[in-house]
Amino acid sequence: MPRSVLPICLAVLLSACNMTSTPAPVSMSQPDSLSDGTACAEPRPQVCTMEYNPVCAELQSGGRGDYSSPCNACADVAVNGYVDGACADQG
């Protein structure tokens, strides 16, 4: 590989490390939604890290479900938003 290409490849790899997979917090304003939750923002994540940070997600069908992280919850198009902690912990 020519020496001039190496710095460019390194810059591309390092810039990918600065990208976050956690959606930006947005207030949930839908009726009957999880209070003090975070709505999933568009575009939805395509790739998530293998992190365990459980959340209780509000499903579009009206139910709730446990996900291993906020990223994994919002990657599922059936999820409106989430609150921190597993659903069983949500009293």
Q: Is residue 74 part of a domain?
A: yes
pLDDT at 3 over 50: yes
Average pLDDT over residues 68-79: 97
* pTM tops 0.75, yes or no: no
Query: pLDDT per residue over 9-26, tens digit each?
Result: 555 544 444 444 444 444
Q: Is residue 28 part of a domain?
A: yes
pLDDT number for residue 32: 45
Q: Is residue 46 part of a domain?
A: yes
Q: Is residue 35 part of a domain?
A: yes
How far apart, in whole angstroms, are the C-alpha atoms of residue 19 and residue 54?
Answer: 21
Interacting residues of 85 by C-beta distance below 8 A, sequence separation 6+: 54, 55, 56
Count up the domains in the chain and report the number: 1
Q: Is residue 4 part of a domain?
A: no
Q: Is residue 15 part of a domain?
A: no
Domain extent at residue 42: 21-89
Q: Is residue 14 part of a domain?
A: no
Average pLDDT over residues 65-88: 95
Residue with tokens 């810039």: 15
Dihedrals φ, ψ of 33, to 5°?
-90, 170
